[in-house]
């Protein structure tokens, strides 16, 4: 069930500008701003995601104010597991946390992906985000694993 007084929708390309500002929620500790962060590049990427058939940006709004967002992509098709959906960004405004908005966005991402043929949905999260991990564990993941990344 959606939290009261909230509206959820897929972003339009014109939402990209204010979405970029909301990424600051992800950069707050224990997160950090990527060294290569460029707001103009980010805005263009958000425009592409919100106009692509293989991606969407889900928004949560409270009386018109952006209070949460989630980017989800159809990406690889693993031989063993079939089409994967990947949640890359999931963030809620600091003043609106613990109200079920994150869960509603994650559920929305699952539904979006399921209706587009995805077999599984995955995300990763930095080691330091222990509060987020507790949320993901409560959501009953089918598995967990450890990821490693290298900047190229």
Partner 1 sequence: MRLDVLGHVGSRQNSFTSVIATSFFAYVDNDRFSIGHGPGLFQAADNRRVRFGRGLRSDRANLLGS
Q: Which stretch binds partner 1 (CB under 8 A): 7-15, 52-60, 65-73, 128-136?
A: 128-136
Distances (CA, A) of 152 to 26, 36, 149: 22, 12, 9
Q: Applying CB under 8 A, which of residues 59, 90, 99, 121 lies at the interface with partner 1? A: 121
Region 79-98 residues binding partner 1, contact defined as CB under 8 A: 80-81, 85
The backbone torsions φ and ψ at residue 29, rounded to the nearest 5 degrees and listed phi first, read -55, 140
Please tell me the distance from the alpha carbon of residue 100 to that of residue 17, in angstroms, as a whole number. 25
Please tell me the distance from the alpha carbon of residue 12 to that of residue 55, in angstroms, as a whole number. 12
Q: Does residue number 138 form part of the binding site for partner 1 (CB under 8 A)?
A: no
Q: How far is the CB of 31 from partner 1 (least distance, A)?
A: 12
- Comparing CB distances to partner 1, the nearer of 7 and 139 is 139
Transcribe 75-87 into DSSP letters.
----TTT--EEEE
- Comparing CB distances to partner 1, the nearer of 48 and 134 is 134
β strands within 11-100, DSSP E: 55-62, 65-74, 84-92
Q: Which stretch binds partner 1 (CB under 8 A): 15-23, 54-62, 90-98, 122-130?
A: 122-130
Q: Applying CB under 8 A, which of residues 21, 41, 54, 137 lies at the interface with partner 1? A: 137
Q: How far is the CB of 112 from partner 1 (least distance, A)?
A: 10
Tokens of 73: 């992509």
Distances (CA, A) of 90 to 22, 49, 82, 129, 152: 11, 14, 23, 12, 24
Q: Does residue number 32 form part of the binding site for partner 1 (CB under 8 A)?
A: no
Name the residues that contact partner 1, by CB under 8 A: 78, 80-81, 85, 110, 113-114, 118-128, 130, 133-134, 136-137, 139-151
């Amino acid at each position: 069930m959606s939290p009261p007084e909230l509206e959820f929708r897929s972003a339009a390309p014109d939402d990209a500008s204010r979405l970029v500002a909301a990424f600051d929620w992800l950069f707050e500790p224990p997160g950090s701003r990527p060294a290569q962060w460029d707001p103009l590049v980010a805005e263009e990427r958000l425009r592409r995601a919100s106009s692509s058939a293989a991606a969407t940006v889900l928004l949560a709004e409270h009386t018109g104010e952006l209070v949460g967002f989630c980017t989800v992509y159809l990406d690889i098709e693993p031989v063993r597991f079939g089409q994967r959906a990947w949640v890359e960004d999931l963030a809620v405004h600091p003043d609106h946390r613990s109200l079920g908005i994150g869960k509603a966005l994650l559920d929305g991402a699952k539904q979006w992906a399921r209706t587009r043929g995805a077999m599984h949905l995955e995300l990763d999260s930095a080691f330091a985000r222990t509060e987020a991990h507790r949320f993901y564990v409560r959501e009953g993941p089918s598995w967990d694993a450890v990821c490693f990344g290298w900047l190229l």
